[in-house]
């Protein structure tokens, strides 16, 4: 399967304004809830942030991948936001975070979530993040994801 298969048309938010990861997660969850792919958005966002408090998912390169499994997630879904202003949060390389990729999935499907997390983490080493930063519209962000799938080597 391709990463793009786990996204929704509205799950791409370019250059959003927020002051913390929590705000970005809330905006992404709201978009997923309005698309009908998740329910109980406030509890889902709270679970994602509870998980983030256990240990930051900022993996370097300006990327944070908050994630959680929750009964409100109907299927594995990825949503992406680029930030208008980087956030200074702890990360492996000390770089400020300007890309948030939210990953939510059903409680019973951890294996698929791990596969997607690993795939996203490997993409940090390519031009993927720079391409996301350069995207100006939702469609541009979606095209970056499609392009990353096309260049896939795993």
Q: How many C-beta atoms surround the C-beta of residue 29 within 10 A?
A: 28
Tell whether the model's pLDDT for residue 28 goes beyond 60: yes
pLDDT tens string 32-77: 999 999 999 999 999 999 999 998 899 889 999 999 999 999 999 9
In a domain, 137, yes or no: yes
What is the count of structural domains for the chain? 1
Asked whether the predicted pLDDT for residue 107 surpasses 70, the reply is yes
Is 131 within the bounds of a domain? yes
Over residues 3-17, the pLDDT tens digits come to 899 999 999 999 999
CATH of the domain at 68: 3.40.930.10
Q: Which of 111, 38, 24, 26 minimizes the C-alpha distance to 70?
A: 38
pLDDT at position 122 over 90: no
> Is there a domain that residue 154 lies in?
no
Residue 11 lies in domain: 3-149
pLDDT over 70 percentage in the chain: 97
Residue 125 has pLDDT above 80, yes or no: no
125 is a domain residue: yes
Confidence class for position 154, pLDDT limits 50, 70, 90: very low
Judged by average pLDDT, the poorest of 15-29, 33-47, 101-115 is: 101-115
Q: Tell whether 112 is covered by a domain.
A: yes
Beta-strand relationship, 12-16 and 77-87 = parallel
98 part of a folded domain = yes
138 and 12 in contact (C-beta within 8 Å)?
Answer: yes
């Amino acid at each position: 399967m391709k990463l793009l298969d786990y996204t929704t048309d509205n799950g791409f938010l370019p250059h959003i304004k927020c002051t913390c990861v929590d705000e970005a997660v809330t905006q992404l969850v709201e978009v997923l809830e309005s698309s009908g792919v998740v329910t109980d958005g406030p509890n889902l966002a709270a679970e994602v942030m509870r998980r983030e408090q256990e240990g930051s998912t900022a993996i370097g390169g300006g990327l944070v991948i908050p994630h959680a499994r929750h009964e409100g997630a109907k299927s594995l879904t990825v949503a992406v936001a680029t930030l208008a202003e980087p956030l200074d949060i702890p990360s492996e390389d000390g770089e400020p975070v300007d890309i948030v990729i939210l990953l939510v999935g059903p409680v019973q499907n951890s294996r698929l979530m791990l596969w997607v997390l690993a795939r996203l983490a490997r993409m940090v080493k390519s031009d993927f993040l720079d391409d996301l930063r350069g995207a100006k519209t939702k469609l541009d962000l979606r095209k970056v994801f499609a392009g990353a799938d096309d260049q896939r080597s795993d």
